[in-house]
Structure 1
Amino acid sequence: MAESPRWSRVVVAGVLTGAAMVVFGQGGDRDAGPVRSRVVPERIDIPSLGLKAPLMRLDVKDGEVELPPYDEPDVAGWVEGTAVPGDEGPAVILGHVDTKDAPAVFYKLKTMREGQVIKVARSDGKVAQYRVDAIEQVSKDSFPADKVYVEDGLRLVTCGGEFDWDRNQYDDNVIVYATLVKPADSAA
């Protein structure tokens, strides 16, 4: 993902997602429902990929999902307003597949397999552990917003497929779906 236009269709999905999150009580007016935890995810660890990366917060403004900065390709981002990994609900982490000249944090994401482990360290010192259920590559025109932003579990999202040089973006997204198998605790 060398430039932000590649995520344009993900942003469109984010608009739909924002509406879905409000409908399902995952966003919107925070004073109207339970107060969200001040705990945030800080690091993602995927042993099978040899990946350990810091996480930053990604805001959602006017229905558009912020992306990790392109000048920090080894950083992934947690979409604020989704569940904190280890808590109930959908938790979404985005990362770039590459930059103009090098692989980025989620470059190997498409090689993940069912049953592999994903760990997310949180600011409260706890670690949530997930098991990969499925990996899919989907056209950005058919981004499955409900599966990513509404269904329970951890979702990792990056670009994939062929690069369209005319539109300066990848045609697809690679999405990893994972289920919580070990709630957040103090053990790493």
Structure 2
Amino acid sequence: MDNEKRLIKLAKEGNEDAFIDLFQLHYSFLYKYLLKLTLNEEISSDLTQDTMLKCYENLNSFKGDSKFSTWMISIASRLYIDQLRKKKREVNWLNQTKIALSRQLTWKANSKGIEWSDTFTDFNNLEAEFRIPILLHHYYGYTYEEIGELLQIKAGTVKSRVHNGIKRLRKEWAAYDERS
């Protein structure tokens, strides 16, 4: 503990070697915390680096009222929460973009006299892993084996994805019918 306080004092005075020693002292602890939090080695490693950078930039704000590791954990936790919020915003943006594109396609199809049903809009809301095999099988007539070769997956996996994708569509349509 005395060594940690000495390292913090030296690092605050600008001694970069002291900060490196402090970093090495806490890296394993911080990384393990983040690994338990994220369940992802790459994200944990990135967050550990980001946390240590924030600690370095804001070291003078550490007052010593708590343990240094507690201060680091609070920074790491906030960085993780910020990352989750950013991902949520990205997903929302992608969903809004998909909806807008689907509306544009519907409008363009209608303006050109092409029949475009709500079924196709629902279909576009499926994840690509389901949408691609269904499109290739039911619209273009490829066999499960051919699709498997194209996508480099087993024919049984293709069949399962086609089945499960159609099942999801039917469930969506049933829910819509109940609301109507």
* Structure 1 and Structure 2 fold alike (TM over 0.5): no
State which structure, 1 or 2, has the greater radius of gyration over its C-alpha atoms. 2
- The structure with the largest strand share of the pair is 1
Q: Pick the TM interval, shorter chain.
A: under 0.3
TM-score for both structures, normalised by structure 1: 0.24
TM-score for both structures, normalised by structure 2: 0.24
